[in-house]
A = this chain, B = another copy of it.
Amino acid sequence: MIDTKKITARGRPRSFDRDKALATAQRLFHQKGYDALSVADLTAAIGINPPSFYAAFGSKAALYAEALWLYEANEGLDVATALAPEIPLGQGVAAIFKQAADAYASGDARGCMVIEGARGTVDPEAGAVARSRMEASRSFIRDKIAARDLPQAEILADYIMMALAGLSSSAKNGLPTQRLRTLAAMAADGVTQHIEEA
């Protein structure tokens, strides 16, 4: 495979910062959702015209996919640390829920961008992308639990995803951080109880 990385750019240089535009798009997608945010909104926020938009990002859905990836990299929950083998599972799950409570209620874009995008998005392509990322998260969590030789990895992963969806929903409904944290602690009790019973 030949390196296709351009060392020197040919042609007219881009007049805007692509990474900055992507960050702007990610924030707006998170705030308003895919369907409620038009390409006209995006180009206006970035400060470019439609042809520049499509030349740089391909399509609205492709930009959304990039934005989701950026969101997961920057604001995603640290599941790997929370579910590390040396930490008791109940404690790890509680840590995840607490992280979620803090993250989902912070800033102007409330809720989880992936979870909300997977559910509410009308556009089929964008919805499929978000659902794919959500399923990837579920698989990651399930594998982390299964590594403990626990037979309930599947249902526990389902429960965690359910609780995160509930927390995201409550956050979007405007619940303050402190109240979300209480809900997170209560939801974590459902896990500890289920492990003890087994």
Contact = CB atoms under 8 A, between A and B. Distances in A.
Contact of A189 (B120, B183, B193): B193
Contacts of A118: 173
By secondary structure, the A interface counts as helix
A188 B186 CA distance: 10
A76 interface: no
A45 interface: no
B183 A162 contact: yes
A165 B33 CA distance: 18
Nearest to A170: B162
B119 A122 contact: no
B155 A162 contact: no
A167 B164 CA distance: 11
A141 interface: no
A162 B159 CA distance: 13
A72 to B, nearest CB: 18
Given A36-B122, A155-B179, A162-B163, 15 more contacts: A33-B122, A116-B120, A118-B173, A119-B120, A119-B169, A120-B121, A155-B182, A158-B179, A158-B183, A161-B170, A162-B166, A162-B169, A162-B187, A165-B170, A169-B169
The 7 closest A-B pairs by CB, nearest first: A120-B120, A166-B166, A165-B169, A162-B166, A186-B190, A189-B193, A190-B190
